[in-house]
Amino acid sequence: MKINVFISFKVKIIILLVIALIISFFMYSLIIKFYVDPYLKNDSDLGRGEKIFEFYNSKINGNSNKIYYLGHSSMKEDIDADLIDELNDSFVNYNLGNPASTPLREVAEIYSIINSKPKAVVLGVGYMSFSDNWLFPYDQYALISKYADLEKNNELTQVYNETYQEFLRMNKLKLLIYKRKFVYPATNYNINLLRYKILGAEKPYSYKKYNGDFKSESILLQSNISHNPEFTKILETKESFNEYFVPSEKNIEKSAFEFIIQKLLDNNIKVVIVKIPLNPNLLEKISNESKDNFDIFLSEISKEYNISVLDYTSSYSDFYFYDGHHLNNDGKIIFSEDLGLEIIKIIGKV
């Protein structure tokens, strides 16, 4: 028996549109999965945010003699956790610095930190940490949205305003769509890789090792240049460094910083604050007002919460710096030893 199935032209068009939508969405998902995600994971420093959360989750059932070093790239680049481990075998040190990160961004990690039960957390801060003009990319908030879990960790909504919450609350579908903005940088990276392979051009940097390293891997020093010539140019041309301006009044970064300290102390995790080393040439160009506001704020925090503040702001000469706030290889060794010994002294007393 022959069955005649008649589908009108209109229905055909509707069916085709629906199928086209499904097929293109499927193809788009493949592009993200096999083209963008590997780029984010291995070839961009944006992948480090996720790796840090994975690190905390892997340490939940580990020992409790861990010391975490948190902060922006200055902490990541300037601290050699392997070297600090060698100073004293009672503690295991982890460098969890994240490029451009500020206290506000670190708040998202707070519950993961607490769950992984470290002995102490060292918070590295510089002028940019409390500035209103230092913009941390929103992208990272989107990429770590699956870990932040604002629904469960309701307290975070007190710290993050609506814009941040929008990124941190991103569901899987929204994140999948959001990731399209990385198609272009991924393509750029792959073109450079192709140029390297075919034309012998400079090899683009792979962040695979860097993103997953919590000890001593750095990127700036890979160039083997002890001083970055770009920094000299910046110093010559730039009159003021607005991105380092710390206001006297409380701002979202300062509140986030206090929130982190409060939460860590509430969970019996020792806190040490470190003022990161800065190049004396850069320091000259930062206003006294900003420096005073920074010092006053940290001294108040130190008193209020009874925590140590280690000041390395002007401890090292220009010789030890790669640029404004990153040490070179020699500087990294000296600073890691100096800081490591101080930390062991403070934590060891407890």
Partner 1 sequence: MLFNTIQFAIFIILVVLAIELFKKNKLQLIILTLASYIFYYFDSGLLFVLLLFTASLDFFCGKKIYESKSVKRKKILLLISIIGSLGILAFFKYANFTIDIANHIADIFGIIPPLKFLNILLPVGISFYTFQSMSYTIDIYRGELKPADSFLKYMLFIAFFPQLVAGPIVRASHFLPQLHNKRILILGKNLKMGMTYISWGLVKKLIFADNIAPFVNSIFADPVGLSSFNIIMGALAFGIQIYCDFSAYTHIAIGCARIFGFTFLENFNKPYFARNPSDFWRRWHISLSTWLKDYLYIPLGGSRKGKVRTYLNLMITMLLGGLWHGAAWNFVVWGAYQGGLLAIHKFITNKINFRDFFGKFINERNRNILSIIIAQYFVFLGWLIFRVRDSSHLLYSIKKFIIVDFFSSIPGIISFCLQNKFIIFLIFVFFYLHILSYKIKNIIERINSLNLKYWFLYIIFIILLLLVFTPNLNTAFIYFQF
Chain contacts with partner 1 (rule: CB under 8 A): 8-14, 16-17, 19-21, 23-25, 27-28, 31, 177-178, 180-181, 183-184, 188
C-alpha to C-alpha distance for 266 and 264, rounded to whole angstroms: 5
Sequence length of the chain is 350
Task: Report DSSP letters for 192-250, one per residue.
Answer: HHHHHHHH--PPPPP-HHHHT-SSS--SGGGG--SS-HHHHHHHHH-S--GGGPPPSS-
> The sheet that has 308-311: what strands, in order across it?
92-95, 66-70, 120-125, 270-275, 308-311
The DSSP element (H or E) to which 298 belongs, if any, is helix 288-305
Minimum CB–partner distance for residue 87 and partner 1 (Å):
45
Torsion-angle region of residue 94: left (phi > 0), alpha (psi -120 to 50) or beta? beta
CA of residue 78 relative to chain centroid, distance = 14
Q: Quick one: 201 or 341, whose CB is closer to partner 1?
A: 201
Q: Quick one: 205 or 305, whose CB is closer to partner 1?
A: 205
Minimum CB–partner distance for residue 12 and partner 1 (Å):
7
Task: Report DSSP letters for 85-147, one per residue.
Answer: HHH-TT-EEEE---TT--HHHHHTTHHHHHHT--SEEEEEE-GGGG-SS-PPPHHHHHHTHHH
Minimum CB–partner distance for residue 10 and partner 1 (Å):
4
Minimum CB–partner distance for residue 8 and partner 1 (Å):
6
Minimum CB–partner distance for residue 202 and partner 1 (Å):
14
Minimum CB–partner distance for residue 270 and partner 1 (Å):
41
What contacts 184, CB < 8 A, 6 or more positions away? none
Minimum CB–partner distance for residue 245 and partner 1 (Å):
21
Minimum CB–partner distance for residue 17 and partner 1 (Å):
7
C-alpha to C-alpha distance for 249 and 290, rounded to whole angstroms: 11
C-alpha to C-alpha distance for 122 and 70, rounded to whole angstroms: 6
Name the DSSP class of 205. Answer: P
Please check whether residue 156 is in contact with residue 150, taking contact to mean a CB–CB distance below 8 angstroms: yes
Each residue of 319-348: b (16+ CB within 10 Å) or e? ebbbbbbbbbeebbeebbeebbebbbebbe
Minimum CB–partner distance for residue 11 and partner 1 (Å):
8
Q: Quick one: 32 or 84, whose CB is closer to partner 1?
A: 32
Q: Quick one: 11 or 296, whose CB is closer to partner 1?
A: 11
Q: Quick one: 12 or 345, whose CB is closer to partner 1?
A: 12
Q: Quick one: 16 or 341, whose CB is closer to partner 1?
A: 16
Coil, strand, or helix at residue 6? coil
Q: Quick one: 15 or 296, whose CB is closer to partner 1?
A: 15
Q: Quick one: 204 or 212, whose CB is closer to partner 1?
A: 204
Please check whether residue 299 is in contact with residue 263, taking contact to mean a CB–CB distance below 8 angstroms: no
Q: Quick one: 8 or 237, whose CB is closer to partner 1?
A: 8
